[in-house]
Structure 1
């Protein structure tokens, strides 16, 4: 089967979507032509699947260039006209100028190489990729699979005003109506996104979770020290902060000054948290807490594998449909997981696999759960159990081989449902 895939991120871009797309497309077994972006606007990480390019049949990098003085222009336009700013930078995002060169590239491929594509797959975010898919669907009349790594309209991190929401709701509606199949990473996300549309539209939705790669965790081991090492790995930004955990740790020590004496809590990843962090860290009652900066993707996996336990911290909300790809890597590491995460997808998965959770808005619950988690991690460290932590049947659902196989079957289903024939080796 010949697949035309559109994804702005791809290795070595230092973005979670680069990793997700590489895991799905590299070595898929189908003939994949992937169009991705080449840009100086995004940091690179050469440890992210360095062989990915060679494991895709044809890779075309299409240049994306942010206009000169774009940051200054954006600030001025934002002050002068929020409506114009929305139309330029939030319709659907700041990468919309990439649409035209990608369409021109596809036209060139069809004219010079005459590939016979069986289907189109677009990966969002950024949702500009789905706008490209919308136009390719109109031009080529091929079966189209639209993959959503996150919700579009309901994503709290997008912070749309009413005008931006109206623009993006119109685009989302067109994509969901015209795509032949829609893939999202949880049933909760599907329920939320499709709740505002006619019920029959939901029939085209399928669940495709993130995946972990077992090959990257072969050197996992516990630290040799008798001290427990509990790590959070990932960036803090916006409403996602370590403050609920730090406050719970501090209060726990005020109740019992000996609590966590044998524990180091380490937060690895970029952060810009302001003076409140310095104030908390200067409190002499706080246990051993350390902050580190950005590390490479492979270094982050090694840090997971060489810890005793892992913390997931999400932004506060009443309900969360987000399934962080980091959580799936945590599962792949085989280390115990504690989630400070709202009710919803990630919370349910952590509990299902055997972990503990607390709501970010409930400091008392966080304090209690952290104490229980540390006790469990301590017992595991001192036992002879060296098997990967977590229910094996749950872990296996997120292994790369299983997820890639499911993705391949969805492509075949989509093509067959359009009335087209599929080569036997594509199944």
Structure 2
């Protein structure tokens, strides 16, 4: 077995979508001839958006998980706001929905002092542990995954210090991420962040990313080889999953975070149209996960609030159960620059659930292509009220007739199993490890 170091900030007991990719790679890499060692942060020092201790059961017992300390500016930020640390953690440290002088100061400090992100305080501790582990038993490859993109600094330093081939995994963009413009960067900080991104991309032996559009974006910044290995689903996650009690109505379900940039205004208009026409009397909206107050306000404005059932973040297995129970699943792509390349990990689990998907976003984007390829559903433009209304009406009519429509074709979906995708990663690792063997130092 060939040793590989996986450096990831998000790992069980962390919950949320950022955990699944490396967790599943770690699960299936031993079957591909690689012995992973996971380097991550201690839970007590981490800033996790959610906790899901149940995921720890998926880590193979033979895989060492090394946890280190970290210095976390979120703790300072929380004290500044007079809140618990978990309440101060937001996507990208943007603190969406929070106002006031202290919040503005916290965002300014994050944007200009903590580059490339607020988890950079973990890097010194992680690097010290990585060097120790490599001296004890050398690694043939290091894989780092971001965001947080500061994690890539560990791979960069290991590459320079020991010559260990390094694969940088980009789950999301760096300076092109959707919320980047919300942070109050000074010009020098913005330039420095772009320079750090370019240094990482150029220094890596290979870059792996999740979608063709993101690969094309990164390819405009570097000549380093790039391979697309999308997110996927793990079939065992869908076996014997308890399905929650149904409401008795037609359930249009969204699982995960629904932010202001994801607010599907055209859907609310379409539903209002259908209700006014008497076509959707048993409509229910089920949201599993965080829903931003802005979205709830828009729902109320269309008179839909009374049809909503909200469930806060649940463990992964329960989330899968809600997917399988849905009559129609909602996928809402952020309405931001670069939306064509947004392919959330949730999409693949929607595909695996066997339930049909109503998508809203760029009709020529990567998510739309996956829905077409797998037969899981259809994606409509942000403004296509008529198309969305027709889709909902069609699925509602099938449900009312006792003939709920099916989702993805299982054969087409098989290309996106985590085991198959890990074999693709193993191919990259073999090529990278063979090109430049590691040297001890």
Place the TM-score, normalised by the shorter chain, in its bin.
Answer: 0.7 to 0.9
Match of residue 95 from structure 1: 119
Q: Distance in 2 between matches of 1:337 and 1:55?
A: 38
CA pair 376-166 structure 1, distance change in 2 beyond 3 A: farther
SS at match of 1:14: coil
5+ residue gaps, structure 1, are: 422-427
Match of residue 29 from structure 2: 28
Q: How many residues align?
A: 405
SS at match of 1:270: coil
In the TM superposition, what is the alpha-carbon distance from 1:375 to its structure 2 partner? 4.1
SS at match of 1:26: helix
Match of residue 325 from structure 1: 345
8 Å Cα contact 2:13/2:43 also seen in 1: no
8 Å Cα contact 1:269/1:294 also seen in 2: yes
- 1:340-396 deviations in Å (ceiling 9; x for gaps): 1223111221122221111223334333333334345666x527x8xx731334301
Q: Distance in 2 between matches of 1:138 and 1:271?
A: 43
Match of residue 47 from structure 1: 54
8 Å Cα contact 2:142/2:166 also seen in 1: yes
- Which of 190, 201, 220 lines up with 1:195 in the alignment? 220
Q: CA RMSD in A?
A: 3.0
SS at match of 1:32: strand
Superposition pairs of residues 19-418 of structure 1, within 5 angstroms: 19-29=20-30, 30-40=34-44, 41-42=47-48, 43-52=50-59, 54-56=61-63, 58-67=64-73, 69-71=76-78, 79=105, 82=108, 85-89=110-114, 91-111=115-135, 114-159=136-181, 160=183, 161=185, 162-197=187-222, 201=223, 204-219=225-240, 227-254=249-276, 256=277, 258-274=278-294, 277=296, 280-281=299-300, 288-317=307-336, 319-343=339-363, 344-354=365-375, 355-375=377-397, 381-382=402-403, 389-418=407-436
Structure 1 residues 343-352 or 145-154, which shifts more? 343-352
8 Å Cα contact 1:223/1:307 also seen in 2: no
Q: Distance in 2 between matches of 1:32 and 1:81?
A: 36
- 1:11-68 deviations in Å (ceiling 9; x for gaps): 1101312121110112421111110111343232112242316252x21011224255
Q: TM (normalized to structure 2)?
A: 0.83
Structure 1 residues 121-130 or 342-351, which shifts more? 342-351
In the TM superposition, what is the alpha-carbon distance from 1:418 to its structure 2 partner? 2.5
In the TM superposition, what is the alpha-carbon distance from 1:231 to its structure 2 partner? 1.0
Q: Distance in 1 between matches of 2:107 and 2:304?
A: 49
In the TM superposition, what is the alpha-carbon distance from 1:167 to its structure 2 partner? 2.2
Q: Distance in 1 between matches of 2:62 and 2:212?
A: 30
8 Å Cα contact 1:235/1:270 also seen in 2: yes
SS at match of 1:19: helix
Q: TM (normalized to structure 1)?
A: 0.85
5+ residue gaps, structure 2, are: 82-100
